[in-house]
A and B are shown apart, each in its own frame.
Chain A
């Protein structure tokens, strides 16, 4: 029998949300049984030591003068990367830096400290990343399957989508009907409430969270948590220039978008202009 691939899971500056997100993967047991988890910051594992691994999983950001397991964090990460065959960066912190520091591969939009090792790295950003994305990446790597990556080392099978795709508020987006307020079924959150869904690379509304829901479905805007810009300022308000959204859906020209939205807005959708469920009629 082949020995199981050795997987070392190390934590940078983190909140452990990535681990806790992964815990929600329904078949987590199947995955963990396929690997030898030589270290994990939370799950039972043997004592930590610097050692070789087939796969190094990093959760959390880099930060100068931050101590981890009695080592200097950045030096520890550097050693572990050198000793690993593949590196899986999970979470926006590990990929871009997020809110806590610098990423491993990128420092926001610049190349990061370990960009030189990008050939053995795979990025799964997200704050937290969806459990299925983490499971996908681990499976693909340990089974030695080819993962098609984009320019930021993200698997295309996950990040070619936008979080807008599959949103149940899409009809409101089509007809340019804004949500008046929070806490309502009706309306699209893109125009006022700051939803970044149409220009955020992620598949949250395609595969759903915890298998049942997503933030926009629960009336919360998408905060673009998979992007290098996360967290932007003023997350519950849409940035506009003279009332026109500063960020428009990916892949469309501003002219085309404005023409289309002007048309949609002018042709009022009667059904969607009212409350969906109304006691009076």
Chain B
């Protein structure tokens, strides 16, 4: 196993533990134990829990960013793109709930961990850049209403985040993927030109 593959495995293990026990309650030692590694060896891969957290964030941001880029490059209408993005989000929520949880909750509610080297949008730039391109092109094609970036971004991401939260809390009455259609429709109606 290469060093990169090993790092990825550690990150996935950490994700599971963060989801199960919470970010603060998980230590490097817990992760090492779960991996069957010595703590000393762990430090060869990640010098601290913070650095692991940061790399994890960059990894997830890039993962979503790459998928969004594919959608951005499709020759389809903005309305269809919205549906594809919602689909992507809800599908990932089902398949890798820890990942989505981390991206939407650990990062946003523990900003202080990311102050050193992850300021602003630095570690999530791959994802944010694609979202910006999606919005910019939608307006340029006159399919979306021209407005402040954050009022559009907040509406889109806040809505998805809310749905993911309800799903993870087990409150949602139906399977999350059944919400793709109405949620996409609502987002489009709210943002359209």
Residues of A within 8 A of B (CB): 240-244, 246, 254-255, 258-259, 262-263, 265-268
Contacts and interface: CB of A to CB of B under 8 A. Distances in A.
B78 to A, nearest CB: 11
Nearest to A256: B129
A154 B120 CA distance: 42
B26 interface: no
Given A241-B139, A241-B146, A244-B136, 17 more contacts: A241-B135, A241-B140, A242-B135, A242-B139, A243-B148, A243-B149, A244-B132, A244-B135, A244-B149, A254-B133, A255-B69, A258-B133, A259-B129, A262-B120, A262-B122, A263-B122, A267-B120
B146 A242 contact: yes
Main secondary structure of the interface of B (DSSP, over half): helix
B133 A255 contact: yes
A242 B192 CA distance: 12
Contacts of B58: none
Name, among B136, B140, B144, the residue most crowded by chain A CB atoms within 10 Å (CB to CB). B136
Name, among A243, A254, A263, A267, the residue most crowded by chain B CB atoms within 10 Å (CB to CB). A243
A242 B122 CA distance: 20
A254 B138 CA distance: 14
B122 A266 contact: yes
Contact of A242 (B119, B120, B126, B136): B136
Interface of B: 69, 119-122, 125-126, 128-130, 132-133, 135-140, 144, 146-150, 152
A240 B140 CA distance: 9
Contacts of A255: 69, 129-130, 133
7 contacts: A240-B146, A243-B147, A243-B150, A244-B149, A258-B129, A263-B125, A268-B120
A263 B129 CA distance: 10
Nearest to B148: A243
A71 to B, nearest CB: 45
Given A242-B136, A244-B135, A262 B146 contact: no
A243 B147 CA distance: 7
